[in-house]
Chains A and B, each alone.
Chain A
Amino acid sequence: SQKIEQNSEALNIQEGKTATLTCNYTNYSPAYLQWYRQDPGRGPVFLLLIRENEKEKRKERLKVTFDTTLKQSLFHITASQPADSATYLCALDITSGTYKYIFGTGTRLKVLA
Chain B
Amino acid sequence: KAGVTQTPRYLIKTRGQQVTLSCSPISGHRSVSWYQQTPGQGLQFLFEYFSETQRNKGNFPGRFSGRQFSNSRSEMNVSTLELGDSALYLCASSLGTENSPLHFGNGTRLTVT
Contacts and interface: CB of A to CB of B under 8 A. Distances in A.
Interface of A: 31-32, 34, 36, 41-46, 49, 51, 89, 91, 93, 95, 98-106
Given A43-B90, A43-B92, A98-B57, A49 B45 contact: no
B21 to A, nearest CB: 13
A46 B101 contact: yes
A44 B102 contact: yes
B102 A46 contact: yes
Contacts of B90: 43-44
Contact of B105 (A32, A43, A98, A99): A43
A105 B58 contact: no
A34 B100 CA distance: 10
B98 A98 contact: no
Given A32-B99, A42-B106, A104-B42, 17 more contacts: A31-B98, A34-B101, A36-B102, A41-B106, A42-B107, A43-B90, A44-B102, A46-B102, A46-B103, A49-B99, A51-B99, A89-B42, A95-B56, A95-B98, A98-B56, A98-B57, A98-B59
A62 B105 CA distance: 23
B43 interface: yes
25 contacts: A34-B101, A34-B102, A36-B102, A42-B106, A43-B4, A43-B90, A43-B104, A43-B105, A43-B107, A44-B90, A44-B104, A46-B102, A91-B102, A93-B98, A95-B56, A95-B98, A98-B57, A100-B45, A101-B33, A101-B45, A103-B35, A103-B45, A105-B41, A105-B42, A106-B42
Interface string B38-67: 000111010010000001111100000000
Contacts of B59: 98
